Chains A and B, each alone.
Chain A
Amino acid sequence: MSADFLYTIEVILNGLMAGVMYSLVALGFVLIFKASGIFNYAQGVMALFAALTLVGIQTGQVPFSHLINAIFGTNVHHFGWQVPTLLAIALTIGVMVVFAILVERYILHHLVNQEPIILFMATIGLAYFMEGFGDIMWGSDIKTLDVGLPSGGSLWLEEYTLGWAAEGEQYYGMYLDKLDMVASLVAIVLVVSLTIFSQYTTTGRALRAVADDHQAALSVGISLRTIGGQFSRHSFSGFINYI
Chain B
Amino acid sequence: MSEPLQKMEAASKLLELKHIDLSFGGVKAISNISFDVLEGEVRAIIGPNGAGKSSLLNVINGFYHPQQGEIWFDGKQRHSMKPYQIAYQGISRTFQNIALFKGMSVLDNIMTGRFTHMHKNMLWQALWKGPAEQEEIENREFVEHIIDFLEIQAIRKTPVGRLPYGLQKRVELGRALAAQPKMLLLDEPMAGMNVEEKEDMCRFILDVNDTFGTTIVLIEHDMGVVMDIADRVVVLDYGRKIGDGTPDVVRNDQTVIDAYLGVSH
Please report A residues at the B interface, Cβ cutoff 8 Å.
Answer: 196-197, 200-206, 208-209, 212-213, 215-224
Contact = CB atoms under 8 A, between A and B. Distances in A.
Contact of A219 (B92, B120, B136): B92
A205 B112 CA distance: 7
Interface string B24-41: 000000000000000000
10 contacts: A197-B126, A202-B115, A203-B122, A208-B108, A209-B112, A212-B100, A212-B103, A212-B104, A218-B63, A220-B175
Interface stretch (B79-87, B197-205, B220-228): B79-87
Given A201-B125, A202-B125, A222-B112, A213 B87 contact: no
B118 to A, nearest CB: 5
A212 B87 contact: no
A221 B84 contact: yes
B136 A202 contact: yes
A221 B81 CA distance: 12
Contact of A208 (B83, B95, B104, B118): B104
Given A209-B101, A216-B100, A220-B92, A200 B128 contact: yes
A223 B88 CA distance: 11
Nearest to A204: B125
Contacts, number: 85
A215 B103 contact: no
A209 B103 CA distance: 9
A205 B108 contact: yes
Contacts of A220: 87, 92, 112-113, 115-116, 175-176, 179
Contacts of A202: 115, 118, 120, 125, 132, 135-136
Give the secondary structure class of A's interface. Answer: helix
Interface in B90-134: 92-93, 95, 99-104, 108, 111-113, 115-116, 118, 120, 122, 125-126, 128, 132
B115 A201 contact: no
B61 interface: yes
